[in-house]
Amino acid sequence: MEEAAATAVEEEEEVDEQLQDEDGAVLDEAEEEEEEQQGGFLEAVSGGGAAEAEAAGTTTTTTTKLYFGNLPYNCDSAQLAGIVQDYATPEMVEVLYDRVTGRSRGFAFVTMSTIEDCEQVIKNLDGSLYSGRTMRVNFADKPKPKLPLYPETEHKLFVGNLSWTVTSEMLTEVFQQCGDVVGARVLYDGETGRSRGYGFVCYSTKEEMDEALSTLTGTELEGREIRVNLALGKK
């Protein structure tokens, strides 16, 4: 009897170690994917006169070309034109695609007629939600510093085993019960546009983060028991 119990304990420990290894691998991948998506803006506008304008200290906008970032991967030029059309008439809309796979890269350039039209579009669309994603809109010749796609703090959690139907808004609602959620985001596959099954949540305080860490692991969300870990970042 004692031997059977000891064997059961050993098996349980092996399973726990396996799960920890899997969670660690997924967390590393998630951190890398998040950094890649957040860096898309600078990559997109790194060519042309952007660097020259920065070096010269120029702050005056002379272009009527806009950058749209963090677009859903199923958004094409016609759909984006329809969104922009609500605020001003675009002259040209170009969603960029990967040369090898032919899939959208998640960003686009839109040329407007006037600076005033550009400012109207930025005012209404920058930071707005489209198909569950927060769009970034800015003048193409004025790259901003690399900023997170959602507010971040040091009190950050990784949330795994999410159902494919879970959105950032649903994640916020669940974690809001433990405190003030500063930002929450589900990550999506760069090629298919589908959820990767994990995300990140940031709290205002360590106490709120600890509360969520201790109480929300195993909570059922959209038919799946979520796993919650500290998002410590890559070493």
* Structure confidence by residue, pLDDT tens digits, 70-115: 999 999 999 999 999 999 999 999 999 888 888 888 999 999 999 9
Q: Residue 27 has what pLDDT?
A: 56
Instruction: Enumerate residues 6+ apart whose C-beta is below 8 A from 101.
Output: 191
Neighbours of 218 (CB within 10 A): 10
Positive or negative: CA dihedral 126, 83, 67, 33: positive
Query: Which helix H or strand E contains 156, and what residues bound it?
Result: strand 156-160
Per residue of the chain (235 residues), give pLDDT as tens: 444 334 433 443 443 344 344 444 555 555 555 555 444 434 444 443 333 334 334 444 567 899 999 999 999 999 999 999 999 999 999 999 888 888 888 999 999 999 999 999 999 999 999 988 999 998 886 544 444 556 677 899 999 999 989 988 899 999 999 999 998 888 877 656 678 899 999 999 999 999 999 999 999 999 999 999 998 654 3
Domains and CATH numbers, the chain: 2-38+149-230 (3.30.70.330), 40-139 (3.30.70.330)
Q: Residue 114 has what pLDDT?
A: 92
